[in-house]
C-alpha cells in the first residue's frame, strides 16, 4: 500500500516561462524585440550579416511574414528553440475543507454501519514547497507570436497544522487532546504537460510581453489530473553589453524586466484514503478500522492565499544561439526560475 500524507496542495508552477518574439517596427526602423531569447532585433544597417547567413535564414518557413520583416531590414531570430527550465516555488494555501467518505464499520450479523463524515478536520496554516524541471520546445509562428509545448516533472511537499474532531451522536463533536495540533506533511510528485503562447511588442529599447499557458499535472496520489492556467505580463528594457576578450565572449544583449504572475489552479482534489498516511498512530488506527473495505475516499477543497505575485528577471544572450534566463518572484508567492535555451 502506497502511503503519503493527507493534504494535497497546489504545485503547478509552472514552469512555462517562454521565449518571446518581435513585433512590427515603425518607419524609422526601431529595433524589434524578443523576451527570453532577444538575441537579435538590430537594424540590418548596423549589423550586416554575411550574405550566406542571410540567405540561409530567409529559406525558413517560420515565422510567417518573416520575409516581409527581413525586407524592412531586420534580422529575425532562429525560428525554433529548446529550453531546459528549473522552478522552485513556495506559497501559502488556505484549505477550506477536508472530508472522508466511504467509511463504515461492520456491525452484528455483518451489517455495515456508515461512518461518512465521522471526522471533523480543522486546518490551520499550510505552506507548500515544490520544484519543477521542464523541457520546452517553441517556435516563432509570427514575428510577434511564439507558441510552445512543455513536459516536465514536479515534486515537493506541503505541511499543514490540523486538529481532528470525532462527530458523535446528537451532533456533538469530541476533540481528543492527542488529535490536536498535528503536523500533516504531504510528499507528492507527478508529470506536467502544457502548451502556451507569448505575444510581444517593443518601442525603442523598451519591450512588453504577455505569456499565457495551460498545464496539466498528474500526481501520484490523486485521481485524474490537476489543471492550471497562468498569465504573466512583463515590461522591460534591453541593454547592449560589450565583449570580454579574456573569456572569448562577443558583445551581447542583456534584458531586464518587472512583471507579475497570475495562477488559476483547480481547487478540489480527490483520491483514495489508502494513499494517505495519518500524522498520529491513534488517527491511523481509527481510519484503518473504518476503512477495512478500502472504499474510503478523501476530498480536499482549497484556494491560493493570493493568485498574484511580483516578478523580477533578467536574460543574458551569450551567443546568437544560446542564452540564459533567471527570474525571482516574491510577495504572496516566492519563486526562483532559471533556464538555458538553444535556438536553431
332 touches 73 (CB < 8 A): no
pLDDT of 5 higher than 60: no
- pLDDT at 19 exceeding the cut of 90: no
* Set of cell numbers at residue 341: 535555451
Let me know: does 91 contact 332? Beta carbons within 8 Å: yes
Complete domains list, the chain, with CATH: 51-93+129-159+185-278+305-343 (2.40.128)
The pLDDT tens digits of the residues spanning 27-36 come to: 332 233 333 3
Interacting residues of 109 by C-beta distance below 8 A, sequence separation 6+: none
Tell me the pLDDT tens digit for each residue of 227-266. 999 999 999 999 998 888 887 778 888 999 999 999 999 8
Between CA 80 and CA 334 the distance in angstroms is 31
Which is more confident, 72 or 216?
216
Please report the pLDDT score of residue 185 as a whole number: 87
Please tell me the pTM assigned to this model. Answer: 0.78
The mean pLDDT value for 289-318 works out to: 93
Q: How high is the pLDDT of residue 315?
A: 96
Closest CA to 19 of 322, 333, 335: 322
What's the start-to-end Cα distance of the chain, in Å?
A: 47
pLDDT the model gives residue 93:
93
**pLDDT tens digits, one per residue of 47-79:** 444 444 444 445 678 899 888 877 877 667 789
164 contacts: CB under 8 Å, gap ≥ 6 = 119, 120, 121, 122, 175, 176, 179, 180, 182, 283
Average pLDDT of the chain to the nearest whole number: 82
pLDDT at residue 91, rounded to an integer = 94
Q: What is the pLDDT of residue 48?
A: 43
Amino acid at each position: 500500500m502506497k502511503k503519503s500524507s493527507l493534504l494535497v496542495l497546489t504545485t503547478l508552477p509552472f514552469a512555462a516561462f517562454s521565449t518571446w518574439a518581435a513585433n512590427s517596427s515603425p518607419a524609422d526602423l526601431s529595433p524589434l524585440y524578443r523576451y527570453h531569447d532577444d538575441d537579435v532585433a538590430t537594424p540590418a544597417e548596423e549589423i550586416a550579416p554575411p550574405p550566406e547567413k542571410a540567405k540561409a535564414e530567409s529559406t525558413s518557413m517560420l515565422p510567417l511574414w518573416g520575409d516581409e520583416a527581413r525586407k524592412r531590414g531586420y534580422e529575425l531570430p532562429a525560428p525554433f528553440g529548446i529550453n531546459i527550465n528549473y522552478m522552485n516555488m513556495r506559497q501559502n494555501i488556505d484549505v477550506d475543507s477536508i472530508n472522508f467518505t466511504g467509511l463504515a464499520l461492520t456491525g452484528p450479523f455483518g451489517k455495515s454501519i456508515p461512518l461518512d463524515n465521522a471526522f471533523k478536520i480543522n486546518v490551520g496554516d499550510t505552506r507548500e514547497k515544490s520544484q519543477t524541471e521542464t523541457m520546452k520546445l517553441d517556435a516563432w509562428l509570427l514575428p510577434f507570436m511564439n507558441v510552445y509545448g512543455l513536459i516536465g516533472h514536479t515534486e515537493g511537499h506541503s505541511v499543514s497544522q490540523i486538529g481532528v474532531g470525532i462527530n458523535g451522536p446528537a451532533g456533538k463533536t469530541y476533540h481528543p487532546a492527542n488529535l490536536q495540533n498535528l503536523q500533516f506533511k504531504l510528499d507528492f510528485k507527478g508529470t506536467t504537460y502544457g502548451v502556451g503562447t507569448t505575444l510581444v511588442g517593443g518601442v525603442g529599447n523598451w519591450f512588453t510581453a504577455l505569456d499565457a499557458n495551460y498545464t496539466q499535472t498528474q500526481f501520484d496520489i490523486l485521481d485524474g489530473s490537476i489543471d492550471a492556467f497562468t498569465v504573466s505580463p512583463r515590461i522591460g528594457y534591453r541593454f547592449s553589453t560589450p565583449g570580454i576578450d579574456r573569456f572569448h565572449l562577443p558583445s551581447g544583449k542583456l534584458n531586464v524586466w518587472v512583471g507579475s504572475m497570475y495562477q488559476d489552479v483547480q481547487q478540489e482534489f480527490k483520491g483514495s484514503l489508502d494513499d494517505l498516511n495519518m500524522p498520529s498512530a491513534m488517527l491511523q488506527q481509527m481510519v484503518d478500522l473504518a476503512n477495512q473495505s478500502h472504499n474510503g475516499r478523501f476530498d480536499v477543497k482549497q484556494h491560493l492565499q493570493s493568485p498574484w505575485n511580483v516578478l523580477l528577471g533578467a536574460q543574458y544572450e551569450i551567443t546568437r544561439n544560446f542564452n540564459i534566463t533567471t527570474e525571482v518572484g516574491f510577495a504572496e508567492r516566492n519563486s526562483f526560475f532559471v533556464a538555458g535555451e538553444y535556438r536553431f
